[in-house]
Amino acid sequence: MMRLSQRDRLALAIGAVCLLVFVLVQFAYFPLQDKRRRLQRSISSRTASIARMREMQVRYRELSSQSSSLGEQLASRTPGFSLFSFLEKMADTTDVKQNIVYMKPSSTISEGDLKQVMVEMKLGAVSLKQLVSFLEHIESPENLVAVKRITIQENKKEKETLDVIMQVISLDRT
């Protein structure tokens, strides 16, 4: 066997120590640092998710309370309320009943225990004053009635009158 000199043994020891340090850094330190960074990113991501969930929880509670207040408004509304008959009554009250060309119930959209009821109606040769009065009477927050869409055109046959097509909506229980 070959005998190594003091200098060779020192060089070999330094090489072994360097190799050991390299192995420890490459296979222990760097993987631990990568795992630590991934965990920190995961924690910040989950913290943001929790914050979003809390915001959604608050929003859900707000919507839930609005839904229950809508339920209370529906309960306080006249029993047997019908949007169609309500519109006829308001048309009679505001003297536009004779101007009704047609009234037809349209589709209903259900969401949970509430449904949206819609009536499309056309008024022909109605004055601006009559139209404004009619709109004031049918826009009824206490009865949950609102105008969804309205189209107003000048009547070609009678001067200073309007033709109006409107969609009126209301909420009801399913």
Domain span including residue 138? 83-173
Q: Does 94 share its domain with 128?
A: yes
Residue 130 main-chain phi, psi, to 5 deg: -65, -40
pLDDT at 38 over 60: yes
Q: How many CB atoms lie within 10 A of CB 64?
A: 10
Using the structure block, give the residue that is written with the tokens 């943001």: 48
pTM of the predicted model as reported, rounded to 2 decimal places: 0.59
User: Among 12, 42, 76, which residue terminates a domain?
Assistant: 76
The reported pLDDT for the residue numbered 144 is: 85
User: Among 33, 50, 76, which residue terminates a domain?
Assistant: 76
Q: Does 104 share its domain with 162?
A: yes
Could you report the per-residue pLDDT of 97-137, keeping only the tens digit for each? 999 999 998 867 777 777 889 999 999 999 999 999 999 99
Percent of all residues in the chain with a pLDDT value above 90, rounded to a whole number: 63
Q: Does 88 share its domain with 167?
A: yes
Is residue 12 within 8 A of residue 4, CB to CB? The reply is yes
pLDDT at 94 over 60: yes
The reported pLDDT for the residue numbered 1 is: 56
Mean pLDDT of 1-26: 90
